[in-house]
Amino acid sequence: MKIFAAITVIGRDQTGVVARVTGFLFEQRANIEGLEEKVTRGQFGMTIQASWPVTDCNETAIRGGLAALARALGMEIRIRFIEPRRRQRFAIMVTREPHCLEAIMAARRSGRLKADPVLVVGNRPELEPLARKHRLPFVHLPWADRARAENRALRLLEKHEIDFVVLARFMKILSPNFVWRYKNKIINIHPSLLPSFPGPQAYRQAYEHGVKIVGVTAHFVSMHLDEGPIIAQGSFDVRSGMSLKDIVATGQALEARVLVKAIRLFLTKRLDVYWGTVKEV
């Protein structure tokens, strides 16, 4: 039997962080099963997957030691102990379009999603009735002050022990500070075949360019807008005479299907991100 934990380290870049954190974990008899670190514009982020034999895990000493190390480094270090066989818990972030949220709820009811949505966060209040209909708590977080809103959202995600986040047509940009805490665990749906037509008006851009194939892309959120590693895509032919309204309606139905497909792929635990590309392993 093993005890598992996920550890995140975030702060201004400085020398020796990896060595000090991993050295401490070695002293605590941890086995490091996965480690990823990156520096973006002077911001250091690291995620570690660690495990211990049950007899070697002193949770109090581990938490206390990491807290002391965080103070010494002037960084944020968080640890969450994980039951590997429990169902994944996820949060859904929305704005006002209901189709993706409805598709996720339908997939959950049918048993096609082997995970539990536990929270809906909206930067607008319009979808609260839909969340309540499905007996999910809804929290309205206005996004005028992004830093404040993100801090509140992160506290909610920690409180509800969220494993991953789904952006179900959430129309706000997340900062690197937010993304680092859920690296390759935030799934977004974008209404174009990325890398074509990034940004909020993808269908209009496709329509105005006269493209003959329109698609959607589910991807992990990265530090750069609409450039994260691609999980799944879908497309449809633009028929003669289709209006922008027709394209949007067809695209939204496809968005819902592809987003659910991406969540299901994620839950297989067979996806790996290697040099910015998602591979099935």
* 127 and 253 part of one domain: yes
What's the domain count of the chain?
2
Which of 62, 82, 102 is the last residue in one of the domains?
Answer: 82
| pTM given for the model | 0.85
56, 116, 163, 226: which one is catalytic? 226
* 18 and 95 part of one domain: no
Q: What's the pLDDT tens digit per position in 127-153?
A: 999 999 999 999 999 999 999 999 999
Q: What's the pLDDT tens digit per position in 183-238?
A: 889 999 999 998 888 888 999 999 999 999 999 999 999 877 778 899 999 999 99
The pLDDT value recorded for residue 39 is 85
Question: DSSP letters along the chain, please?
Answer: -EEEEEEEEEEE--TTHHHHHHHHHHHTT-EEEEEEEEEETTEEEEEEEEEEEGGG--HHHHHHHHHHHHHHHTSEEEEEEE-TTSPEEEEEEESS--HHHHHHHHHHHHT---EEEEEEEESSSTTHHHHHHTT--EEE---SSHHHHHHHHHHHHHHTT-SEEEESS--SPPPHHHHHHTTT-EEEEESSSTTSS-STTHHHHHHHHT-SEEEEEEEE--SSTT-SPEEEEEEEE--TT--HHHHHHHHHHHHHHHHHHHHHHHHTT-EEEETTEEEE-
* 54 and 125 part of one domain: no
* 47 and 139 part of one domain: no
Q: What's the pLDDT tens digit per position in 60-106?
A: 999 999 999 999 999 999 998 887 677 889 999 999 999 999 999 99
User: Is 226 designated active site?
Assistant: yes
CA dist., res. 161 & res. 138, Å (int): 16
* 204 and 268 part of one domain: yes
Q: What's the pLDDT tens digit per position in 235-281?
A: 999 999 899 999 999 999 999 999 999 999 999 875 555 545 565 65
Instruction: Quote the percentage of the chain above a pLDDT of 70.
Output: 95
Q: What's the mean per-residue pLDDT of the chain?
A: 91
Which of 48, 82, 116 is the last residue in one of the domains?
Answer: 82
* 259 and 221 part of one domain: yes
Q: Token digits for 235?
A: 């497309």
* 148 and 206 part of one domain: yes
Q: What is the CATH number of the domain that holds 42?
A: 3.30.70.260
* 138 and 270 part of one domain: yes
The pLDDT value recorded for residue 180 is 81
Which one-letter amino acid corresponds to residue 137?
A: P
The pLDDT value recorded for residue 279 is 57
The pLDDT value recorded for residue 275 is 45
Identify the domain containing residue 157 by its residue range: 88-280
* 274 and 153 part of one domain: yes
Q: What's the pLDDT tens digit per position in 1-47?
A: 789 998 999 999 999 999 999 999 999 999 998 898 888 778 898 98
Which of 60, 82, 104 is the last residue in one of the domains?
Answer: 82
Cis peptide bond upstream of 195, omega within 30: yes
Instruction: Quote the percentage of the chain above a pLDDT of 90.
Output: 73
